[in-house]
Structure 1
């Protein structure tokens, strides 16, 4: 029974692997981005009102007011890097969930197959013992020695049945052994993929925490007066970007009405306004950007991909002029942020660490495109 014990051990290892992975707290899905400001690649000062020009009274070592635009640009870059790393973490987490489920399924198959193999071996052993009790003579030899014709004919039929049964037993035994080998190999391969994902998640998590920590340290060097001025610069930049977007006349072309599911998704998302941003969170107390949008659409009965990049990749694209409430606006060239359009040129979104779910102008960030979760031909792909 050495092989049986090996298979059971493999099953146990597979189950432990799955439980270990599934037990890791889900602390990162989606993409964190700055509050409606500008792209991290946009030149500093390109969208904000100029500094008041008042002479700086900052303490030694603190940046003067004229340098706050550079500070804002640096913060944008840091939070953008955290957003990209968050999507990488989220993608690895989603894969790990699927792979863990597959490992658990393989473990069940290994256990069931081992039980079936043990039963087949018992039956084969019983047949061998029966032959031994027959003085070691094969059935054909015992038939030749029989003097009773009817016994001979009856015996011949039983021999044929026995041969078929034996062949079937041996064939099933071989199939079961091959299946077990395949299941064990698949479980080992899944474990290797899980381990690779674990390392990818750990690296992404480290990068996220480093970027957020650096951003917080940078902000902590500012005086209260400078933090207030920085907040005004962000608001001014957002207002300028929104005004420019509306100035294209795009809102005049947008007249789509929300679908039934879209209305439910918008209702859910707007009910979360004021709740804190937390990278990797999907409610109910905190959210990140795609955690908010994915949960909103899940509440409407339409599951969608968990990350902003996968939402952009898998959901049906629609023109900005054709968007309707409930559609998702994907931002920045790397699809690192997402918000839900709610009408009147506005989106509801979870901006970045230190902020809360809020309503903002749809044009306050560079728009990559729009996707529609409830388009008829949309199907969530199994991204692996």
Structure 2
């Protein structure tokens, strides 16, 4: 390369560096297939019950006492309505739990990105100071690039030494420009990602509040229905619930679906069962995952966590993400998912029974595995 071309290239680099460290540049950088459900045989309805005037105004979109113009409704109808309300609450609880889990992850991601933005800005500031120092050094040398000074010497040895230094300087300058550009790109990326995660966080918080509202409304409506009953009617209602569960369990067992189920639990399955059964008697509280109370998936997820196998928090995610098992192949420790929307889960413990957290107002207990509508079975440790 001739001395004139070399000098021209150096002057171009100096001009580019001056643009990078200009105030305008700095401002831009800173701105930068399941088993079929088992149907229960129809129950013989009990005699109709006189209901208190105005009872059951739930305000949750489900009429409480709507037994016709006579104002009478059978306890069996009331039982079915209460069961439907608690199922709706369970579905909303699953949505709430999922929203809580997602917002926790998104909050963590937003915090991490915020740290990256701070680190990126500090790195960019340091690079700008380095570039500014190079520009000031050039200014102090009279505003001429090294090539211009080199052209003024008549000493061949000094000229050759100067060529080497110029090449090193050009390489360092290019590396600085590349690093500064990369830092600016990283900062823009961090900022865009943080904005996206923040929007997701806001969406998750809105979903959480919506689900919470639905849960409280459905539970309040169910409790209001129960509050409108007399003591003897409440006792009869509990009896009807037990009879309905027994009919479903009997039909399930009579189908022969479990006659060949005699498998043993895995080592981890035994630990999960031990944990779950130790919680018997503790109350159901929606959104709870121990140690003093649980909802259905809070119990199963904590039981398997205690066995050393973390699983998804909600029953719907457990159904979606865990391996599916045919009922004839299930073993103790497997999870049975209930209802078409996968809104309930219990842990199979053998002999046709599950341990589960049923619903608000109930405690963790044992129940027949076929006492509710089965959607399918999943195995956490397959």
Q: TM-score, normalised by structure 1?
A: 0.83
2:337 and 2:375 in contact (8 A); partners too: yes
SS at match of 1:340: strand
2:338 and 2:375 in contact (8 A); partners too: yes
CA distance in 2, matches of 1:198, 1:219: 32
Shift of 1:256: 1.2
- Give the match for residue 273 of structure 2: 266
| Alignment counterpart, residue 250 of structure 1, candidates 257, 271, 274 | 257
Matches within 5 A, 1:35-74: 47-48=42-43, 50-51=45-46, 67-74=74-81
| Alignment counterpart, residue 222 of structure 2, candidates 212, 215, 220 | 215
Q: Find out whether 1:345 has 2:330 as its counterpart.
A: no
Q: Find out whether 1:108 has 2:115 as its counterpart.
A: yes
- Give the match for residue 314 of structure 1: 321
SS at match of 1:303: coil
1:47 and 1:237 in contact (8 A); partners too: no
Tell me how many residue pairs correspond in the alignment. Answer: 339
- Give the match for residue 335 of structure 2: 328
CA distance in 1, matches of 2:81, 2:309: 37
- Give the match for residue 236 of structure 2: 229
- Cα distance 1:66–1:58, how it changes in 2: closer, same or farther (>3 A)? closer
| Alignment counterpart, residue 196 of structure 1, candidates 192, 203, 207 | 203
2:121 and 2:187 in contact (8 A); partners too: yes
2:336 and 2:347 in contact (8 A); partners too: yes
1:47 and 1:240 in contact (8 A); partners too: no
Shift of 1:88: 1.6
Q: Which moved more, 1:295-304 or 1:55-64?
A: 55-64
Shift of 1:83: 1.3
CA distance in 2, matches of 1:112, 1:248: 64
- Cα distance 1:92–1:61, how it changes in 2: closer, same or farther (>3 A)? closer
- Give CA-to-partner distance per residue, 1:62-87, whole Å, 9 cap, x none: 78996111111110111111111112
- Give the match for residue 373 of structure 2: 366
- Give CA-to-partner distance per residue, 1:15-68, whole Å, 9 cap, x none: xxxxxxxxxxxxxxxxxxxxxxxx9x989xx554543x5x96876667899611
Q: Find out whether 1:171 has 2:178 as its counterpart.
A: yes
Matches within 5 A, 1:132-143: 132-143=139-150
Gaps of 5+ in 1: 8-38, 376-384
- Cα distance 1:65–1:234, how it changes in 2: closer, same or farther (>3 A)? farther
Q: TM-score, normalised by structure 2?
A: 0.84
CA distance in 1, matches of 2:176, 2:140: 20
- Give the match for residue 33 of structure 1: none
1:58 and 1:223 in contact (8 A); partners too: no
1:341 and 1:348 in contact (8 A); partners too: yes
| Alignment counterpart, residue 286 of structure 1, candidates 277, 282, 293 | 293
- Give CA-to-partner distance per residue, 1:275-325, whole Å, 9 cap, x none: 000000110111000010011011111111111111111111111111101
| C-alpha RMSD of matched pairs (Å) | 2.2
Q: Find out whether 1:301 has 2:312 as its counterpart.
A: no
- Give the match for residue 97 of structure 1: 104
- Cα distance 1:60–1:200, how it changes in 2: closer, same or farther (>3 A)? closer
CA distance in 2, matches of 1:82, 1:59: 25
Shift of 1:273: 0.4
1:65 and 1:226 in contact (8 A); partners too: no
SS at match of 1:101: helix
- Cα distance 1:101–1:132, how it changes in 2: closer, same or farther (>3 A)? same
